[in-house]
């Protein structure tokens, strides 16, 4: 709609606001691409428009797909109807479907929902036909039986999530007032309609979009990229400082890698809290690192513990495959020969009282006697640590393969001893894997009703206590695995207060006093559910928040100026410390009765490394060994509702408008051609002569 401002003060915005009601909280499904195809959703360039239809049941689909008199339809789905069966029927009838809006409920669905596949990352893990055909493609264990695969389908219409708030009430009322005929009759115009904008720039597959990027870059003055490789930063630190400029093998040094993943995803962009699938393992390992800080500073064990937090694991193990690639090529601070063993913390947040933690290992690599011996020692360390905690541990059956885990990327390079700890023996206990419902409710997090946000931050929930027990188990096991004295292990305990603050900050409210004290990046992070920002896209502020948290939990406050801290040095003459340590100037707590903060500098060994798939560096965009996932760019994501007139009335209005235009042109022509007659001025009389 094109309009201009007039001197009387009527502008196009005021007219537009009278016509359209903008939707305030919309989260789209976006387009992703890999080496072979594209998945996700998009609208047309100008947005897709359809008449609203609130679907009441699957049987009601016939109105949308066949009998409705006013297609195309914009289908409004309650969350319980957001199933594969319904979505595939809408996809196959897409000529009559303009788009779908799913209403996000205030409580989780009772039966479970996972839009991921039944066998996550099946093509890029270690279990291939070459490694062991009997274990390939989840032949032995189906890890995610509730997976319906919707996240990996392609839809040629937009699909949005709407929060169940005032917007959805307006939509429902508009539908009832205009689109639902009385006593089953056909509704009369005007009808309530919705327009969704989510046009995606990239099409076909990753090789196509990267080629178009290159053409834009090489030949355009102001290039517009159409897609970006998924990726970000891995965050890592170690119990001994390592010179970050010296890459490759470290003579006479051995490392125990303690790993967890950073990212999560769901069907809808930026709506992936990942409470169980990612946050539980991340928080448990952060708390374990904090618990080990003092004892490893006082007396270093023989082996160094290297904590690694991998980004992009959901999309074919981007972060871990890059670290392994860099280790193999001498581009990381250690190499694979330095790796003694791996302990990975997976989904550990859903545990009933007295339930067990399961120790998963790889049956194929354990056919090597030396690897099997080291794995048995690692299991003994877990069992010894379990005696000192409220957690019991157990192994699944010997023939069972590893669940989806970053450790699989290490095993693709060589046999290594390692354990992946999970709260499930075989299939996931997480009924909402990689979905918008994998949220605090999924972890049974609850708070007394009358607490303020600050009180909730410090309230130790039962979930936090249980996760702190797991963190204690991890910390003691890592200490023993690194060669620490067994007599000292029972003194290592994770702090439930730290765990509850991490849970609240990652999953409930990021803008809280503790996160503000220990970081400087909160201004660019979502108000609540910041963990959804760990989904892979260009904004990496949440990943850097993890870096700040890890630095504060494992680092040391040093007395240096803000200038020296930001310049990565102890003083103006210090040229070496930046190679061994990183320095972060953090905001600190508010001073008493003041708006000023007591800022300070934290020195730690926390670093970040690139988490970008090697396929893009190798320019092997059809790789079957590495992730090739990219994300399309877009310019506009929005939605709005309005009343639409009937097609016949629109055609009549158009016809009348054209007729008026033609009559106007004809009259203008006639008046112009007779202008000398119609507008001729009378002659003045000539002057009289006397």
SS3 state of residue 372? helix
pLDDT surpasses 50 at 550: yes
* pLDDT tens per residue across span 602-641: 999 999 999 999 999 999 999 999 999 999 999 999 999 9
Q: Which residue has the tokens 């022509």?
A: 669
DSSP string covering 439-479, please?
SGGGGT----TT--HHHHHH---HHHHHHHHHHHHHHHHHH
SS3 state of residue 612? strand
Confidence band for 658, pLDDT divided at 50, 70 and 90: very high
pLDDT at position 611: 95
Confidence band for 682, pLDDT divided at 50, 70 and 90: low
In whole angstroms, what separates CA 628 from the centre of its chain? Answer: 17
Which one has a higher pLDDT value, 69 or 470? Answer: 470
C-alpha span between 621 and 137 (Å, rounded): 23
End-to-end Cα separation, the chain, in angstroms: 70
Angle of helix 280-298 versus helix 496-507 axis, rounded to 10 = 140
Which one has a higher pLDDT value, 188 or 433? Answer: 433
Confidence band for 525, pLDDT divided at 50, 70 and 90: low
pLDDT at position 408: 98
Confidence band for 657, pLDDT divided at 50, 70 and 90: very high
Mean pLDDT of 446-466: 95
pLDDT at position 24: 86
* pLDDT tens per residue across span 559-577: 999 999 999 999 999 999 9
pLDDT surpasses 60 at 527: no
In whole angstroms, what separates CA 571 from the centre of its chain? Answer: 39
Please, what is the Cα angle at 230 between 226 and 232, to 5 degrees?
125
Angle of helix 369-387 versus helix 462-481 axis, rounded to 10 = 130
The side-by-side arrangement of strands in the sheet containing 600-604 is 556-558, 600-604, 582-586
Give me 498's structure tokens. 């730290």
Residue 393 phi, psi (nearest 5): -125, 155
pLDDT at position 530: 38
pLDDT at position 593: 77
pLDDT at position 270: 83
Instruction: Please report how many Cα atoms fall inside a 13 Å half-sphere around the Cα of residue 669, on the Cβ side.
Output: 6
Give me 340's structure tokens. 């003694």
Confidence band for 594, pLDDT divided at 50, 70 and 90: confident
Selection from 26, 10, 7 nearest residue 18 by Cα: 10
Rg, Å, the chain Cα set: 31
C-alpha span between 401 and 87 (Å, rounded): 33
The dihedral sign for the CA sequence 630, 636, 639, 644: negative
**Are 39 and 31 a contacting pair, CB within 8 Å?**
yes
Confidence band for 532, pLDDT divided at 50, 70 and 90: very low
C-alpha span between 383 and 473 (Å, rounded): 9
Question: Which spans in 187-339 are helix H?
Answer: 206-219, 280-298, 318-328
C-alpha span between 238 and 482 (Å, rounded): 12
* pLDDT tens per residue across span 74-124: 999 999 999 999 999 999 987 999 999 999 998 999 999 999 999 999 999
* pLDDT tens per residue across span 245-272: 999 999 999 999 999 999 999 999 888 9
* pLDDT tens per residue across span 290-341: 999 999 999 899 999 999 999 999 999 999 999 999 999 999 999 999 999 9
* pLDDT tens per residue across span 2-24: 444 444 444 556 777 788 899 98
> Where are the strands (E) in 334-373, listed by range?
339-345, 356-360
Mean pLDDT of 460-485: 96
- Checking DSSP bridges between strand 73-78 and strand 97-104, what pairing results, if any? parallel
DSSP label of 32: E
pLDDT surpasses 50 at 512: yes
SS3 state of residue 21? strand
Confidence band for 681, pLDDT divided at 50, 70 and 90: low
| pLDDT, averaged across the chain | 90
pLDDT surpasses 80 at 471: yes
Instruction: Please report how many Cα atoms fall inside a 13 Å half-sphere around the Cα of residue 299, on the Cβ side.
Output: 7
Give me 265's structure tokens. 């995803």
Of the candidate ranges 449-453, 496-500, 517-521, 546-550, the one whose mean pLDDT is the lowest: 517-521
371-379 long-range contacts, Cβ below 8 Å, gap at least 24? 371/415, 371/416, 371/417, 374/340, 374/341, 374/417, 375/417, 375/418, 375/419, 377/417, 378/341, 378/343, 378/417, 378/418, 378/419, 378/477, 378/481, 379/419
C-alpha span between 647 and 655 (Å, rounded): 12
Residue 192: CB partners within 8 Å, gap ≥ 6? 51, 52, 171, 174, 175, 177, 178, 179, 641, 642, 643, 644
pTM of the model: 0.91
pLDDT at position 683: 54
Percent of the chain with pLDDT over 90: 77
C-alpha span between 423 and 281 (Å, rounded): 10
Cα→Cα distances 144→114, 128, 358, 400, Å: 8, 18, 17, 15
* pLDDT tens per residue across span 171-191: 999 999 998 877 777 888 899
C-alpha span between 558 and 565 (Å, rounded): 9
C-alpha span between 556 and 442 (Å, rounded): 35
SS3 state of residue 338? helix
């Amino acid at each position: 709609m094109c309009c201009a401002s007039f001197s009387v003060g009527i502008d196009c915005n005021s007219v537009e606001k009278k016509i359209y009601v903008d939707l305030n909280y919309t989260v789209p499904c976006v387009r992703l691409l890999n080496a072979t195809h594209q998945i996700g959703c998009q609208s047309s360039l100008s947005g897709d428009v359809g008449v609203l239809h609130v679907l009441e049941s699957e049987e009601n689909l016939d109105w949308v797909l066949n009998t409705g008199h006013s297609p195309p339809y914009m289908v409004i789905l309650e969350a319980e109807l957001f199933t594969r069966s319904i979505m595939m029927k809408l996809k196959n009838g897409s000529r009559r479907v303009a788009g779908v809006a799913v209403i996000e409920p205030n409580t989780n669905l009772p039966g479970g929902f996972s839009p991921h596949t039944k066998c996550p990352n099946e093509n890029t893990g270690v279990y291939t036909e070459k490694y062991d055909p009997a274990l390939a493609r989840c032949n032995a264990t189906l890890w995610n039986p509730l997976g319906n695969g919707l996240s990996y389908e392609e839809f040629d219409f937009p699909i949005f999530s709407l929060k169940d708030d005032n917007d959805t009430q307006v939509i429902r009322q508009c539908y009832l007032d205009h689109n639902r005929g009385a006593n089953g009759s056909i509704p009369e115009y005007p009808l309530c309609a919705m327009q969704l904008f989510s046009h995606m720039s990239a099409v076909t597959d990753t090789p196509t979009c990267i080629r178009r990027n290159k053409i834009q870059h090489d030949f355009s003055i102001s290039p517009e990229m159409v897609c970006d490789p998924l990726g970000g930063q891995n965050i890592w630190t170690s119990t001994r400082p390592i010179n970050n400029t010296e890459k490759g093998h470290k003579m006479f040094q051995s490392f125990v890698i303690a790993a967890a993943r950073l990212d999560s995803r769901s069907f809808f962009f930026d709506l992936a809290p990942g409470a169980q699938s990612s946050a539980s393992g991340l928080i448990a390992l952060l708390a374990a690192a904090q618990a080990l800080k003092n004892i490893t500073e006082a007396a270093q064990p023989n082996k160094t513990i290297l904590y690694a937090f991998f980004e992009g694991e959901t999309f074919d193990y981007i972060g871990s495959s890059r670290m392994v690639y860099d280790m193999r090529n001498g581009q990381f601070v250690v190499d694979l020969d330095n790796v003694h063993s791996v302990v990975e913390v997976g989904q550990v947040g859903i545990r009933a009282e007295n339930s067990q933690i399961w120790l998963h290992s790889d049956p194929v690599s354990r056919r090597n006697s030396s690897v099997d011996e080291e794995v048995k020692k690692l299991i003994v360390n877990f069992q010894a640590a379990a005696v000192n905690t409220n957690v019991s541990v157990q192994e699944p059956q010997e023939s069972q393969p590893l669940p989806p885990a970053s450790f699989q990327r290490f095993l693709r390079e060589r046999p290594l001893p390692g354990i992946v700890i999970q709260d499930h023996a075989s299939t996931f206990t997480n009924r909402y894997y990689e979905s918008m419902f994998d949220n605090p409710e999924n972890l049974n997090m609850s708070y007394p009703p009358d607490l303020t946000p600050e009180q909730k931050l410090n309230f130790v929930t039962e979930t936090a206590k249980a996760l702190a027990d797991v963190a204690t188990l991890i910390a003691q096991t890592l200490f023993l695995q690194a060669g620490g004295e067994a007599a000292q292990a029972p003194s290592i305990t994770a702090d439930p207060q730290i765990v509850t603050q991490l849970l609240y900050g990652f999953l409930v409210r990021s803008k809280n006093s503790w996160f503000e004290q220990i970081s400087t990046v909160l201004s660019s992070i979502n108000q609540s559910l910041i963990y959804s920002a760990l989904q892979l896209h260009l904004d990496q502020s949440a990943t850097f928040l993890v870096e700040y948290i890890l630095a504060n939990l494992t680092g040391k406050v040093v007395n240096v100026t803000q200038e020296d801290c930001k310049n990565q040095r102890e003083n103006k003459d210090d040229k070496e410390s930046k190679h061994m340590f990183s320095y972060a100037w953090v905001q600190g707590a508010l001073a008493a009765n003041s708006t000023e903060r007591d800022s300070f500098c934290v020195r730690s060994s926390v670093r970040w490394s690139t988490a970008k798939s090697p396929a893009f560096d190798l320019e092997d965009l059809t790789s079957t060994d590495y992730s090739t996932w990219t994300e399309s760019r877009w310019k506009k994501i929005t939605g709005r509702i309005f009343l639409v007139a009937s097609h016949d009335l629109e055609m009549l209005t158009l016809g009348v408008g054209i007729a008026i235009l033609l009559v106007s042109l004809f009259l203008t022509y006639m008046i112009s051609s007779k202008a000398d007659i119609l507008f001729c001025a009378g002659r003045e009389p000539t002057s009289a002569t006397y």
